[in-house]
Amino acid sequence: MVRRGETLPTGAALVILPGSKTTIADLTCFRREGWDIDLLAHLRRGGHVFGLCGGYQMLGRIIRDSEGIEGPPGEAQGLGLLDIETDLSGDKVLAPVHGKCAQNGVPFTGYEIHAGRTSGPDCARPLLHFTDGRSDGAVSADGRVSGCYVHGLFAEAAQRSALLARFGGKGTGISYNEALEAALESVAAHLEAHIDLDRLLTLAR
């Protein structure tokens, strides 16, 4: 995680722009910190960039919010690293999705969560293919910039390992969802052993 006042690490192989609920405002902050300049330098060094949801929208040429969905109505120039544009309009999309990554054929599961619609020439090179026949995301012509709307894409070991392998890394084989479930079960068992949960629930009512 890079915090305000810090620069993007020069030794990074991949920079990930996460999601945002205030995309245009966060893009303004991104530029104020000088990270747009750092990002261009990162790409000149041969680095890769991945954007998720709001981060994906930021990578495009323009973001329009004429209805004021995320803040005051307006629009902003994106980072211009993908030939796409986004209109923040219409109903918010929230749905579980499954499919395969277009780049490596590895299956994925996740949630499509976003407001707005993204289109443009780079969408002709989608990052993901859904089992329902739809595609999602975009990839630059040189393959070093990409993004999509699917949250939880790297929670499963197979997709995360495939990503790390591109940069000479190796995955642990651990499923985030399985590890999370095991941790919750452990906490629940500990509470049950040391707390009168029935009494606690009675008091809560």
DSSP tag of 173: -
Measured CA to CA in angstroms, residue 57 lies from 105, 108, 112, 148, 161 at distances of 24, 21, 14, 9, 25
Is 53 an active-site residue?
yes
Q: Is the dihedral of CA 185, 189, 191, 197 positive or negative?
A: positive
Element (H, E) at 48: strand 48-52
Report whether 175 contacts 157 (CB < 8 A): yes
Please tell me which residue in 42, 48, 53, 114 is annotated as part of the active site.
Answer: 53
Per residue in 56-76, is it b (16+ CB within 10 Å) or e — as a string?
Answer: bbbbbbebbbeeebbeeeeeb
Exactly one of 42, 48, 114, 151 is catalytic; name it: 151
List the one residue out of 87, 82, 92, 89 whose CA is nearest residue 64: 87
Q: Which tokens go with 93? A: 């999309």
Give the amino acid at 89.
S
CB-CB contact of 18 with 55 (8 Å): yes
29 included as an active-site residue = no
Q: Which amino acid is at 120?
A: G
Residues marked active site are found at 53, 151
